[in-house]
Structure 1
Amino acid sequence: MAERTEQIFNQYRWLLFSIAYRMLGSRTEAEDIVQEAFLRWLEADEEAVQSPRAYLSTVVVRLCIDQQRSARAQREVYTGTWLPEPLLTEQQPELTETAALAESLSFAFLVMLENLGPLERAVFLLREAFEFEYAEIAEMTGKSEANCRQILHRAQQHLGQRRGRYDVSHEQQERITAQFLQASTSGDIDGFLQLLSDDIVFTADGGGKAKAGLKPVRGREKVARGTLSGLRILLPAIVSRIEMVNGQPAIIGYIDGRPYAVIVLDIVDEHIHAIYAILNPDKLRSLPHL
C-alpha cells in the first residue's frame, strides 16, 4: 500500500512543485510544501480522498497561500530587493512543456506576480498557467466559482500593462545573452550600451549576505557603468557559463567553482529591458558547482 501511495504521489510531484514554486518563488520552500502535502496525504482518510490529484493540489495551494502571507511580511524587513530563487531547468522539461507554463516560470513573470496578493496569485496561476477549471480552483481555494472569476479579473486588471511582452525566441535570448556576456567581460561599453533599452532597470538581490545595491538602478548609462565597474573587480576570479535558468538562457558566475551570481535578462524587442542579479548565497545553494 505504501509503495502504491508513493507511486501515485510521484505521478503528481512535478505538478505540485510547479504550483508551489510559482506561488512562492523559492525552490527550497516549494520542496518543503510538496513534502508536507505528501505527509498529510499519508495521514488522510483513504475513503475521503476520491482524487489524489485534487487532494494534493488543494493541500499545496492552501499551504502556499499561508506561506505567501507570511513571506510578504518577512520581505518588508528583507535587506535590499527580494528576487526569486533561480531554478535550473535544462533537465526539467516538465516545468516548461506548454507556452503558458514557460511564460509563468520566467523571472520577469515571477517578479510581476509579486504585485498580487496570495489569493489573487493562486487563482491567477491556477487558471492562466495550469488551466484548471473554475470549479477546481474554487475547491482548492475554498471560494465560490463566481468569486474566483472576480478574483481573476481583479488580478488581470492589477497586472495591467505589466504583462505586455513581445515574443522573444530562444535563439534571440541565447544570442543577446551571449552578446551581453561578451560585452561585459571585455569592457566594451559601446557594445554594452547598444544592448540596453533606454528604460533599463538593474535589480540585485544580495539579501544582506553579498555585496549588492539596495535599490534598483535605472537608465542605460548608470546601468552600463555600474555593471562594468562591478565586473572589472570580479573578472580575475570569476568564471561564467550560460545555462538554462527558469526556462531561458542566463549567466551563472562561479568563484572557486562555487556559484557566486546568476544574471537573468528580460529581453523586449531586441533590447534588454531588465537585468536581475541574484547574489544571495542562500538562493544559490541548490545550483551545482563546477
Structure 2
Amino acid sequence: MHIDLEELYREYSAYLISIAYQMLGAIVDAEDIVQQLFLELQQHDIKHIENIKAYLARAVTNRCINLLKAAHKRREVYVGPWLPEPQITSSEDNPLELIVKQETLSYAILVLLERLSAVERAVYVLREVLGYSYEEIAETVHKSVANCRKIYSRAQKKLQSELPSASIDRAQENELAQIFVQASQTGSFDRFIQMLAEDAVLVMDGGGIVRAALRPIIGQQRIEALLQGIAPKGYFAGHLRAIQANGRIGMLLVRENKPVLVVCFGWDQQQRINRVFMLSNPEKLAHIQL
C-alpha cells in the first residue's frame, strides 16, 4: 500500500498544528514541529500503521512535551512575564483557521496552562479540548490509564479556581471592544475599569524588546493608573480594532501597517474581566496577517 505524504499533510496538518499550538502557545513552533514530522516520515516506512491519525497525534504530542521541557528553562531567563502567541482568526474561508477556532482554548486558559508540567498540559489538552479517552491518552503519552486519570485530576485542581467564565455573550464582548477603543482614543479608562473585577490582573509581555511592565499589575486602581499613564505617551497610537483571539474578543493595534499590540481578556464567573493580557513582543506578533 502506497502512502501519499502530501495527501496526509493536507488532511491532518491543521489538526496537528492545533494540538501543537495549544501544547506550546507558539504558532510558528507548532507549524515547525508538524513540518519536521512530515520531513522525517519520508525516511520511514509507515504503510503498516493502522491508525495513522492517532500515530501522527502521538508523534506531535511527544515532540511538544520534549520542546516544552526545554522551553521552561529558556523562560526562566525571559525578560518579564511570558505570554503565549494569540491565534487571530479573521477569515472564515481558511480551513486551518476554522479548525483551530473550533478546537482552541480561550487565551486566558492558554495562559493558565503555563502552570502545568509538560505531561499535565498534554493530558489536559487531549482530554479537555480533543475529547480523547483515557485509553487513547495513555497510549499517546506512554503512561498507564490510571496515571493519566490522576494527571488530569491534578491539572484540573491547579486550574479550577481561575478558569474563566464560558458564558460571556457576543453583546458583552462587543460592548467591551467599543469601550476599550473609546478609552484608548480619549485616554479616559473609567468605563473600562468599571468592567474589571476588584482583584483583576494586567500582564504585559514585551519580551525585553518593547517597553512593558516587568511584573503583573494587580487591582483596579493600579491598572487604571498604568493605562492612564501610558495612553498620553502614544502607547495606543495607531489603528485599534476588535479581532477574534482564540475564539474570544480581543484588540489588535496596527501602526505603520504592522501589528504592534494584541490585547486579550479573561472573564470570571461573575462575568467581570479579571485578566487583561497585553502582548507587544514583536517576535510573537510576526505571524499575524493584516
Q: Same fold per TM (> 0.5)?
A: yes
The C-alpha deviation readout for 1:91-114, integer Å capped at 9, x for no partner, is: 3221232xxx34x2x111011111
2:254 match = 254
Contact 2:108-2:164 at 8 Å conserved across structures: no
Query: Which secondary structure state, in structure 2, belongs to the residue aligned with residue 264 of structure 1?
Result: strand
Query: Which secondary structure state, in structure 2, belongs to the residue aligned with residue 73 of structure 1?
Result: helix
Alignment of 1:39-118 (within 5 A): 39-91=39-91, 92-97=97-102, 101-102=103-104, 104=105, 106-118=106-118
Counterpart residue type for residue 118 of structure 1: A
1:153 match = 153
2:242 match = 242
Counterpart residue type for residue 23 of structure 2: M
Distance (whole Å) between structure 2 residues aligned to residue 232 and residue 54 of structure 1: 53
1:288 match = 289
Query: Which secondary structure state, in structure 1, belongs to the residue aligned with residue 161 of structure 2?
Result: helix
The C-alpha deviation readout for 1:189-214, integer Å capped at 9, x for no partner, is: 43232122211111000000001010
Counterpart residue type for residue 274 of structure 1: R
Contact 1:204-1:278 at 8 Å conserved across structures: yes
Distance (whole Å) between structure 1 residues aligned to residue 5 and residue 166 of structure 2: 44
Distance (whole Å) between structure 2 residues aligned to residue 231 and residue 271 of structure 1: 23
Change (3 A) 1:229 1:142: same
Fraction of identical pairs, as percent = 35
**RMSD, aligned CA:** 1.9
Contact 1:65-1:119 at 8 Å conserved across structures: yes
Query: Which secondary structure state, in structure 1, belongs to the residue aligned with residue 60 of structure 2?
Result: helix
Q: Using the TM superposition, give the Cα deviation of residue 170 of structure 1 relative to its aligned residue in structure 2, in angstroms.
A: 2.6
Counterpart residue type for residue 43 of structure 1: Q
Counterpart residue type for residue 201 of structure 1: V
Deviates more, 1:195-204 or 1:171-180: 171-180
Q: Using the TM superposition, give the Cα deviation of residue 146 of structure 1 relative to its aligned residue in structure 2, in angstroms.
A: 1.8
Distance (whole Å) between structure 1 residues aligned to residue 164 and residue 257 of structure 2: 38
Contact 1:204-1:279 at 8 Å conserved across structures: yes
Distance (whole Å) between structure 2 residues aligned to residue 202 and residue 209 of structure 1: 19
Distance (whole Å) between structure 1 residues aligned to residue 283 and residue 6 of structure 2: 30
- Structure 2's unaligned 5+ residue stretches are 92-96
Alignment of 1:206-221 (within 5 A): 206-221=206-221
Deviates more, 1:37-46 or 1:136-145: 37-46
Relative to its length, the structure with more helix (as a share) is 1
Q: Using the TM superposition, give the Cα deviation of residue 166 of structure 1 relative to its aligned residue in structure 2, in angstroms.
A: 5.2
Contact 1:207-1:280 at 8 Å conserved across structures: yes
Deviates more, 1:239-248 or 1:211-220: 239-248
Counterpart residue type for residue 242 of structure 2: I
Change (3 A) 1:270 1:54: closer
Normalised by the length of structure 1, the TM-score is: 0.92
Distance (whole Å) between structure 2 residues aligned to residue 250 and residue 79 of structure 1: 24
Distance (whole Å) between structure 1 residues aligned to residue 208 and residue 145 of structure 2: 42
Distance (whole Å) between structure 2 residues aligned to residue 201 and residue 275 of structure 1: 6
- Pair 1:203 & 2:208 matched: no
Change (3 A) 1:37 1:180: same
1:35 match = 35
Distance (whole Å) between structure 2 residues aligned to residue 155 and residue 267 of structure 1: 20
Distance (whole Å) between structure 2 residues aligned to residue 281 and residue 113 of structure 1: 22
Query: Which secondary structure state, in structure 2, belongs to the residue aligned with residue 185 of structure 1?
Result: helix
Distance (whole Å) between structure 1 residues aligned to residue 284 and residue 72 of structure 2: 17
Distance (whole Å) between structure 1 residues aligned to residue 119 and residue 267 of structure 2: 29
Distance (whole Å) between structure 2 residues aligned to residue 156 and residue 85 of structure 1: 23
Query: Which secondary structure state, in structure 2, belongs to the residue aligned with residue 162 of structure 1?
Result: coil
Q: What number of residue pairs does the alignment pair up?
A: 284
Query: Which secondary structure state, in structure 2, belongs to the residue aligned with residue 46 of structure 1?
Result: coil
